Amino acid sequence: MLLMLLKLLPYGIITVVKNILKIFKSDLKRIFKNKIALGITIGVIVIPGIYAWLNIDSSWNPYDNTGNIPIAVVNKDKGTTIVGEEVNMGEEIEKALRENDKMKWTFTDEEDAIKNVEKSDYYGAVIIPENFSSDFATLISDSELKRPTFDFYINNKKNPIAPIIVGKAIDAVQDSVNQTFVNTIAYKVVSTAENLNVAAKGSNTSDNIINKLTESKSRIGQLRDILSTTGAAADTTGKSLTALRSTIPVIKNTNGSVSQGLGDLKGTVKSFNETYDSIESDLSSTLDKSEKIIKDLLALLDPSDPLAKQLSEQLAKIENTKKLLANTKNDLNNLYQRSSKNIDTATSTLLNLNSSLDNLDLSMKYMIDALSSGKQLTNNLDVVLSDFQSDIDKIIATVKEATKSELYRSLVNLLQNNPSDVADFLSTPVEANRIEIYPVGSYGSEMAPFFSVLACWVGCTILIALFKIDIKKAPRGAKNYQKFFGRFMLIACVAISQGLVIGIGDLILQVQTVNWPLFLVTLMLSSVVFMLIIYSLTVVFGKIGQALSIILLVIQVAGSGGTYPIELLPSFFQVLQPYMPFYPSMNAARETIAGFYQTDYLLYIIILLCHIIIPLFLGLVLGRYTIDTKQKIQHKLHETDVIG
Res. 47: pLDDT tops 60:
yes
Average pLDDT rounded to a whole number, residues 329-358: 62
Average pLDDT rounded to a whole number, residues 132-150: 75
- Segment among 86-100, 259-273, 470-484, 629-643 with least mean pLDDT: 259-273
Res. 333: pLDDT tops 50:
yes
pLDDT at 3 (0 to 100): 44
For residue 280, which of 226, 225, 209, 232 has the smallest C-alpha distance?
226
Kindly state the percentage of the chain with pLDDT values over 90: 22
Using CB atoms within 10 A of its CB, is residue 317 exposed (0-12), middle (13-18) or buried (19+)? middle
- Determine how many CB atoms are found less than 10 A away from the CB of residue 85: 13
Q: Which residues contact 569 (CB under 8 A, 6 or more apart)?
A: 558, 559, 561
Cα distance between residue 518 and residue 576, in whole Å: 27
Asked if 238 and 370 count as a contact pair (C-beta separation under 8 A), the reply is: no
- Segment among 220-229, 316-325, 589-598 with least mean pLDDT: 220-229
pLDDT at 539 (0 to 100): 87
331 vs 234, residue with greater confidence: 331
pLDDT in tens, 529-570: 999 999 999 888 888 888 899 999 999 998 888 888 888 888
Asked if 424 and 183 count as a contact pair (C-beta separation under 8 A), the reply is: yes
Tally of helices (H runs) and strands (E runs) in the chain: 23, 6
Average pLDDT rounded to a whole number, residues 119-139: 84
pLDDT in tens, 82-113: 666 777 888 888 888 888 888 888 999 988 99
- Segment among 165-174, 398-407, 478-487, 562-571 with least mean pLDDT: 398-407
pLDDT in tens, 165-177: 877 777 777 776 6
Q: Which of 310-319, 346-355, 563-572 has the highest mean pLDDT?
A: 563-572
Res. 629: pLDDT tops 90:
no
pLDDT at 495 (0 to 100): 94
pLDDT in tens, 503-523: 999 999 999 999 999 999 999
Kindly state the percentage of the chain with pLDDT values over 70: 55
Res. 638: pLDDT tops 90:
no
477 vs 121, residue with greater confidence: 121
Cα distance between residue 320 and residue 486, in whole Å: 120
Grouping H, G, I as helix, E, B as strand and the rest as coil, residue 127 is strand
pLDDT at 252 (0 to 100): 57
Asked if 233 and 293 count as a contact pair (C-beta separation under 8 A), the reply is: no
Q: What is the 3-state secondary structure (H, E, C) of 30-95?
A: HHHHCHHHHHHHHHHHHHHHHHHHHHHHHCCCHHHHHHHCEEEEEECCCCEEECCEEECHHHHHHH
pLDDT at 2 (0 to 100): 43
Asked if 329 and 241 count as a contact pair (C-beta separation under 8 A), the reply is: no
102 vs 385, residue with greater confidence: 102
466 vs 5, residue with greater confidence: 466
Cα distance between residue 331 and residue 173, in whole Å: 79
Q: Which of 79-88, 125-134, 418-427, 618-627 has the highest mean pLDDT?
A: 125-134
pLDDT in tens, 584-628: 999 999 999 999 999 999 999 999 999 999 999 888 887 666 665
Res. 152: pLDDT tops 80:
yes
Res. 343: pLDDT tops 50:
yes
Cα distance between residue 305 and residue 313, in whole Å: 13
262 vs 405, residue with greater confidence: 262
- Segment among 7-11, 96-100, 365-369, 435-439 with least mean pLDDT: 7-11
> For all residues of the chain together, what is the average pLDDT?
75
pLDDT at 494 (0 to 100): 94
pLDDT in tens, 245-298: 565 565 555 555 555 655 655 666 566 566 666 666 766 666 676 677 667 666
Whether the pTM exceeds 0.85: the reply is no
